[in-house]
Structure 1
Amino acid sequence: MGSKKNTSTHTVAANKTIKAVDFFCSGGGMSYGMQRAGIEILAGIDFDQNCEATYRANIRGAEFIHADVFDLKEKELEKRLSLNKNDDNLLLIGCSPCQFWSIINTSKEKSKQSKNLLKEFHRFVAYFNPGYVVVENVPGVLRRKEESGLDEFIVWLENRHYKVHFKVHEVSNYGVPQHRKRFTLIANRITNTELEPVPVKGKKITVRDVLGEHNGFPKIKQGHKDPTEFMHTVAGLNALNLERLSITPHDGGTRLAYVYDQRLAVPCHYKKTDGFKDIYGRMWWDRPAPTITTKFFSISNGRFVHPNEDRAISLREGAVLQSFPKHYIFKASSIANTARMIGNAVPPKYAEAVGKAIIQNHHKQQLAL
């Protein structure tokens, strides 16, 4: 396929950098990881203006475009970013908000519009015909690929001579200290190679590898507020929750420590030893963290208790478990808003693994020209 691209209808240049536009960019997790891989980010597009300050603070050299993709026109984007159609060096990224397809979402009404975002992204891919396309989402988008528009999109890409990889990947295989399954599509029309994220060799990174005093996280108590950009801020706890944590064993302990105590047990958990045990549970030091959700600051929303301190993990700890570097700046108005931005992000290390696959393929193609 690569040999057919040396025509006047395609923009091909040896040693030319891949340039990307990141749709639904949020706080920049995907953009940052792609930059780390060596891809130039031209712009991030998002409807949520609350993420603009964070994106601009971290994704240097990129433009932030505040726009609703339903209203954004292809020609408008083409002119604003000086994009070319049929550009082999162009990458379009679409990591649309995934609330509608998430198994943990409780309000489908609020997120109905998100189910059509892939179809809107498809419109831009059809117009620009870029060399590469990346889509990242929750596994649910694959389980319901006909309803989500994914089925139609994949068939369309293949008919346009893209080699398409689509699969659910476990991000802990790619340098992220967290168990998290994400659907990823990588479409490549430059070569006949099916591209997959580049895994990290060796043992998986664990909570102990990135958190704790030995990693620059001083001990703090519940309710601690960090006024610096390090953001080692943690939510407060009431007296009952503090008592619960005081008897929860360190390093992986759960609510089973007080399941038979009528005063301490959550009423719906009293004397129940089966079912979901992660709520009010501690993380393990020597395992990757559980999935960091948008509610990771709350101990009642998952296994988000520090392995041995009586508190939830801090905002910065959640960000590091998402593989953001410690110097990444988050600008949001509250703990909840910051946690939402962190929890919704594509882990940068995983984004970098996707970007590396594209960079390696592009380099091979350039050498063949």
Structure 2
Amino acid sequence: MTMIDAVDLFCGAGGLTAGMRAAGIAVRAGYDIERQCEYAYTENNGAAFVAKDVTSVEADELRAWYRPGRYRLLAGCAPCQPFSTYNQGKDTRNDRKWPLLYAFRRLIEETQPHLVTMENVPDVTKHEVYHDFVAGLRAQGYEIWEGRVHCVDYGLPQQRRRHVLLASKLGPIVLIEPTHKGQPVSVEEAIGKLPPIAAGECHPDDPLHRAAALSYLNLKRIVHSKPGGTWKDWPPHLVADCHRKASGKTYPSVYGRMKAEEPSPTMTTLCYGFGNGRFGHPNQHRAISLREAAILQSFPKDYVFLPPDKINFKSVGRMIGNAVPVRLGEVIGESLVRHVRAFGSDQQPAQEDRIRA
């Protein structure tokens, strides 16, 4: 265990927390407005969950989580919807999630952690709020590394790209070098050993290894779907009316199967639905199960999201799709741990705290 205490803002089901803990960081608490995430967060991570809007969090309560003599890390992965490519061209300034980066910046200014990290969609860099956030960090004396991360280069079995920022008051900081460059982890390697199930079934030994039911028509469609192919591979009588139109022909990435030998597409909140993207199982006639989706997000195979009798696709799918992949959280954590070992000292945090006091 390193000398880093962390608080995870916008913690969700705990993907970032789980990754940072795996890297040796002591995550003391997570904050999120979604109360449904509390079970997953606390059951898997042993940290406190605070159900609170980050805009109403005060600096004093954050400071209380940090122990004397420890390096303080404040992590915050604000909801990405306002910055998503799906919203390009729309005026999202009135979205209630829009001010959250400003709230995060305020808490950094008021608590002055030694270390900061944030993660978001790549297009966050196209927005003024992000540049204001970075400028605020620089004005407070933080050294910054920022860049687009292709998660497959770090062993995530998923073609997910994210923007990551690391900031430190200890010295120059960088993300660790890719660990799997040119050697991606495939869907088969990640989920190939899970027991087979049919559409609409749940495995008796794992309540999360359940697949959504398919209509008779969609079952016919998935039988005719090729790994990596599209609905254009189907017999004409199975093609949906919307795809027969000129506008529908530009959406080939729905009703698709994954390729077993390649990483999966990006997991979304609807990753359990065959018609919602390329979420068909490579060789079984169904969409991927919730457990398979979680594994493709690099959650441990025994990670729980809701009590077994309360599991539903919409709630768990949302937690999985919105999560920071655990492996990316671990990469961020490893980068911070390595940085502290290179630039920190066991005495510095205690000395600085006495000066501030």
CA distance change for structure 1 residues 178 and 358 in 2, over 3 Å: closer, same or farther?
same
Match of 1:218 in 2: 195
Note if 1:182 corresponds to 2:174.
no
Counterpart in 1 of 2:134? 154
1:305 maps to which of 264, 276, 280: 280
**What TM-score, normalized by structure 2, do the two folds share?**
0.89
- Residue 84 of structure 2: aligned partner: 102
1:316-335 to structure 2, matched below 5 A, reads 316-331=291-306, 333-335=311-313
Q: Which stretch of structure 1 is more off in the superposition, 153-162 or 108-117?
A: 108-117
Gaps of 5+ in 1: 1-14
Identify the residue that residue 139 of structure 1 maps to in structure 2: 122
Aligned to 2:239: 265
1:348 has 2:326 as partner: yes
Question: Cα distance, 1:37 vs. partner?
Answer: 0.7
> Which of residues 102, 109, 127 in structure 2 aligns to 1:119?
102
Q: Is the 8 A contact 1:207 1:287 kept in 2?
A: yes
Q: CA deviation at 1:175?
A: 1.2
Q: Return closer, same or farther for 1:178/1:264 CA change in 2, 3 Å cut-off.
A: same
Instruction: Single out whichever of 123-132 and 149-158 deviates more from structure 2.
Output: 149-158
Per-residue CA distance 1:332-361 (angstroms, 9 max, x = gap): 641111010001000000111111111011
| CA-CA distance at 1:197 after TM superposition | 4.2
Per-residue deviation, residues 82-139 of structure 1 (Å, max 9, x unmatched): 567xx87111000111111112369987981111101001111001111110011111
SS of 2:96 mapped into structure 1: helix
Using the size of structure 1 for normalisation, the TM-score is 0.86
Q: Secondary structure at the match of 1:168?
A: strand
With 229-238 and 36-45 compared, the bigger mean Cα shift is at 229-238
In the alignment, the residues of structure 1 paired with residue 328 and residue 162 of structure 2 have an alpha-carbon distance, to the nearest angstrom, of 10
Q: Secondary structure of 1:19's match?
A: strand
- Using the TM superposition, give the Cα deviation of residue 327 of structure 1 relative to its aligned residue in structure 2, in angstroms: 1.1
Q: Aligned residue for 2:40?
A: 54
CA RMSD of aligned residues (A): 2.4
Cα distance 1:109–1:288, how it changes in 2: closer, same or farther (>3 A)? same
Partners of 1:111 and 1:183 in 2: how far apart? Answer: 23
Q: Tell me how far apart the structure 2 counterparts of residues 309 and 111 of structure 1 sit (CA, whole Å).
A: 43
TM-superposed CA distance for 1:268, in Å, is: 2.1
The residue aligned with 2:339 is 361
- The aligned residue for residue 70 of structure 1 is 55
C-alpha distance 41-283 of structure 1, shift in aligned 2 (>3 A): same
Cα distance change on mapping 1:49 and 1:126 into 2, 3 Å? same
Identical-residue share of aligned pairs (%): 35
State the SS of the aligned residue for 2:132.
helix
Pair 1:108–1:344, CA change in 2 (3 A): farther
Amino acid aligned to 1:24: F
Which residue pairs with 2:10 in the alignment?
24
Query: Which residue of 2 is the match for residue 294 of structure 1?
Result: 269
- Residue 209 of structure 2 is aligned with which of 232, 248, 251? 232
Q: Which amino acid in 1 is paired with 2:264?
A: A
- Say which SS state the counterpart of residue 98 (structure 2) adopts: helix
Deviation of 1:29 (Å): 0.1
- Find the aligned partners of 1:271 and 1:88 in 2 and give their Cα distance: 61
Instruction: Label 1:110 to 1:255 Cα distance change in 2 as closer, same or farther (>3 A).
Output: farther
The answer to whether the Cα contact below 8 Å between 1:230 and 1:327 also exists between their aligned partners in 2 is no
Which residue number corresponds to residue 11 of structure 1?
none
Stretches of structure 2 that go unaligned for 5 or more consecutive residues are 348-357
Match of 1:8 in 2: none
* CA distance 1:130–1:336, shift in 2 (3 Å): same
The question of whether the paired residues in 2 share the 8 Å contact of 1:98 and 1:115 is answered with: no
